[in-house]
Amino acid sequence: MAYVNKTSLRDEFSHLKGEFATLAAAGKVTPESRVLFNALLMLLEVMMAVFLEKTTPKTSRNSSKPSSQMEAPDTSAVQGTHARGLAAEARGFTNTRTIETVEVAAVETCGNCGEDLRKIRGTSRERRTRIDLVFEKVVTHIDAEIKTCPHCAATTKGDFPADLAGPVQYGIGIKAYVLNLLVSQMVSLSRVQKLLETLIGEVLAEATLLKYVWSLHEALARWERMSIEQLLGSPALHVDETSVRVDRHNHWVHVYASGMITLKFVHPKRGTEAIEAIGIIPRYGGVTIHDCWASYLSYGHCGHGLCGAHLLRELTFIHDANGYPWAANMKRLLRETCAEVSRRESRMLTQEEYANLQKRYRNILTRGARELPPIPERASGKRGRVAKSDAHNLWERLREHETAVLLFARRAEVAFTNNRAERNLRMGKVKQKVSGCFRQQRYAEAYCRISSHLQTMAYQGVNPLVAIQLALSGELYARKG
């Protein structure tokens, strides 16, 4: 071979395999040698498949690695997906406090001849607009009168408002601004202190800022319980998890999302122990959409839908590494089906179309079984699993979980991807990069609950500052009730 690449290596291997088969057919190889060489060829083919997978670079296009870890970020997205999450980012907020005035630049005289035009009706108007922010510190003093009764000489003092428990209090507007910076904008505590100092000329202690966080966390406890009950009644539930550092140890943030509701919880564990502690999936009877994590699949009382975006990336990697036609065909089938379902008003295939889809799906896997190298049998006396390539593992997963892979084509409420849950988790990773890990688990739990509330309200088009003030004032439950 003049040079070696994936194609030439496979061609050379196929050539050698063909020559050996020719010699064996001509009777030039003894039966004992044929058995030995067939075993060596099978082992070599498996080793070659693993070698090609290990030497194929993984990018955001063919794996779950984020673009930020790539030398050249790949911004291409999966085309034709029909995730059903609401795109709050495109709507903007319509309930912010805005003071809008209109001034008229009157015309009193003619600019040409000087004629008096004050009694002449205007024919049209041209408008120019200035948008600005006015930062003002509002200080309200409440003086309670103190009077002495002339009859009994008793002293009586006027009542202060309930929210003025001490000599100096910060208003709900400052609290909402602080919490928005800490949770939504992911600003560190020290920078929030400096930002407040530039606005109000006061330095709030770090303990005060953390007290605001915990107060909102407690105020949202009832909202979280109500949201859990709503999630349990939803037909499909997006679930996922990602790591987060808490007190220098690895913890996991678990997300549960459906419709307009997003809930996040932090737990030291990732698997079944955490799922049981959170207690949503054990009580859920709909369809969970996830990335084939074994802990989710262990709950057989609910349905399962696998994330198509993960499968497409894995199929891309398998085709890049080994050039298997079955991987390219399966990828094409899933993409075409997803695009077709997205165009349908019903968001699903008919029974006849689904039966045809199953037939094509199984035919591809049947051809894939012939393309994949055979797996060597476990040697006698050896325990444990037989080592397999990534291509074998993916093929077996597609065969075993056919119903979960194709569920998006049968059920209108099941999305092709799990992007909804992944988007909800993304800001938590950004916060960790921007402001570091959490020092205590209680504040990690507070962040999860508060960010869940803000993301849920954002899907409803509610400004985060307004959402925080509604929760702190108790008006959130008045709106619901």
How do residues 274-305 score in pLDDT, each as one tens digit?
999 999 999 999 999 999 999 999 999 999 99
Alpha carbon 210 to its chain's center: 26
CA distance 196 to 199: 5
Phi, psi of 222 (to 5 degrees): -65, -40
Residues of the chain with pLDDT under 70: 1-15, 32, 34-55, 57-58, 60-97, 133-135, 376, 378-387, 479-481
Domain annotation covers residue 476: yes
Domain annotation covers residue 18: no
- Confidence (pLDDT) at 1: 42
| C-beta of residue 430 within 8 angstroms of C-beta of residue 439 | no
Largest Cα separation within the chain, whole Å, is 130
- Confidence (pLDDT) at 188: 87
138 vs 172, 173, 199, 250, 286, CA distance in Å? 12, 10, 11, 43, 50
Domain annotation covers residue 249: yes
Domain annotation covers residue 415: yes
In the three-class reduction of DSSP (H, G, I as helix; E, B as strand; rest coil), residue 238 is classed as strand
CA distance 174 to 465: 10
CA distance 437 to 431: 8
> Per the structure, how many domains does the chain have?
1
Phi, psi of 458 (to 5 degrees): -65, -35
Q: Tokens 């120019």 sit at which residue? A: 128
Start-end of H helices in 372-440: 390-400, 402-405, 419-435
CA distance 396 to 384: 18
Label the pairing between strands 303-306 and 287-290: parallel
* H/E element, 321: helix 308-322
What residues form DSSP beta bridges with 28? none
CA distance 358 to 366: 12
CA distance 130 to 310: 47
* H/E element, 90: none
Domain annotation covers residue 162: no
Domain annotation covers residue 150: no
**Range of the structural domain that residue 241 is part of:** 221-372+389-480
Domain annotation covers residue 51: no
CA distance 447 to 431: 10
119 vs 107, 116, 126, 236, CA distance in Å? 10, 8, 19, 66
Domain annotation covers residue 255: yes
